[in-house]
Chains A and B, each alone.
Chain A
Amino acid sequence: MSEPLLKMNREDERLLIARVRAGDRMAVRELVDRHKERLFAFIWRMVRNHHDAEEICQDAFLKAFASLDSFSADYRFSTWLFTIGYRVCLNRLRRRHPVSGEVDLSALAAGGAPEAGAVESQEAGEVRQLVWSAVDSLSAPQRAAILLFYRYELSCQEIARVLELPVATVKSHLHRGRNSLRETMEALGEQKLSELRNLSRHAG
């Protein structure tokens, strides 16, 4: 993901956080603006509900600022923010009834989109939908691990910090998540092939 706003070195981030701690309102705004899009998108991918995502994202920022004194400059602020956001997500997902249908149906088709201006074939579009529907069907820690690894380019160590799990467990979630994606793509791919075969038989 190319996020120009995120191209901030650790020293600049440290200075910005120091300004926030000193009560600089503009620094708070700058820090929120730098991180809100990535955090919101991650949370939305986890809960798949726009309203919930906004609440969780706001809650995560409030918790982060309230406990800013406990933030260690040894870590990236984004990693710390994702840790808080993921924890709030998990609490929300646990409270949610498993068959309550609290998922944005309008957004189901919007799994992802090619880069702006890119022209996409029907085949590529189908694969894209297939992958995102497979991501949605993963368990919460598997989905989080896959998203943080591929989408937010976190290392396994950083993911372990976000999910508050051992690195070996994170690798296991990544492995299972990847295999689920592959199996879903293979199964649906074969189903699509058989549908095409049936269609050609009927046409013949």
Chain B
Amino acid sequence: MRCEQARQLFDAYLDGELSPALATELGAHRLRCAECRRALALLEVAGHIVGADADPVRPPEGFTDRLLACMEPSRATWSHRLRRLVYAGSALAAAAVVGLAFLGVFDTHRPGQVAGKKVERSVASASVAPAPVANPPVADSAIDEFDEEFDAPDSPLQTWIERTQANLEAKRQGGESLQEVFDLTILQWLDVLEQAKQATADAPTAPPALDPAPTARPLPPTPSEDD
């Protein structure tokens, strides 16, 4: 066997895939060829070191605990998602109102009117829903209550609409970009939400029976539910 032939068999020999007959041929060549003997010895030593050396690193302390914590869907995550959803919805609502204000739909100087046109909500609702016989007074009173709250000059909603109009006026005068007006309006809308939240928190607490007391039950580990 020549050196070229022997070297072509090195990989099959190292992979353990050489037939016994060829392994003998290679062994015989190895005994009498110092160069091939050295080349094969280097390959074997390298393989031995890579295979047998101890690892110089280990996973950090607490790796498994951190991993399991990542896999458990927590209540905090859900509440965080819900909060994000509410804020996203609020931002969209704010954007819609900005659009309407931009078109001049709201007229805060004439309560109860939209774009200078009187809106009879109770009549409108009656025409849309032709059979409110079951409990019409309640529906009307709720709408009236909303109207009063909406039209109150110092209500957070009215204040916000006025601010929005002021922002748009500033834009018209060239002081602000549309993006700045939009950002400012969103921030002011979040203020309205915060005020509403504060008002709810200040309100008398619900009866204990209706209070949705959080249960401290841990969620079962469901690996496939991680995100």
Contact = CB atoms under 8 A, between A and B. Distances in A.
A83 B170 CA distance: 59
B50 to A, nearest CB: 4
B71 A112 contact: no
Contact of A131 (B46, B58, B63, B66): B46
B226 interface: yes
A171 interface: yes
A37 B59 contact: yes
A160 interface: no
A178 B13 CA distance: 13
Interface residues of A, number: 53
B49 A58 contact: no
Given A23-B220, A28-B223, A62-B71, A151 B50 contact: yes
A1 interface: yes
A186 B43 CA distance: 11
Nearest to B46: A181
Given A132-B49, A147-B50, A65 B71 contact: yes
B97 to A, nearest CB: 40
B154 interface: no
Interface residues of B, number: 35
Interface string A88-131: 00000000000000000001001111111000000000011001
A132 B57 CA distance: 14
A202 interface: no
B9 to A, nearest CB: 12
A112 B53 contact: yes
B223 A185 contact: no
Given A115-B52, A185-B46, A54 B59 contact: yes
Interface of A: 1, 20, 23-25, 28-29, 32-33, 36-37, 40-41, 44, 50, 53-54, 57-58, 61-62, 65-66, 68-69, 107, 110-116, 127-128, 131-132, 134-135, 146-147, 150-151, 153, 156, 171, 174-175, 178, 181-182, 185-186
The 10 closest A-B pairs by CB, nearest first: A112-B53, A110-B56, A25-B221, A65-B223, A150-B51, A150-B50, A41-B55, A181-B46, A40-B59, A131-B49
Interface of B: 10-11, 14-15, 39, 42-43, 45-47, 49-60, 63-64, 66-68, 70-71, 220-224, 226
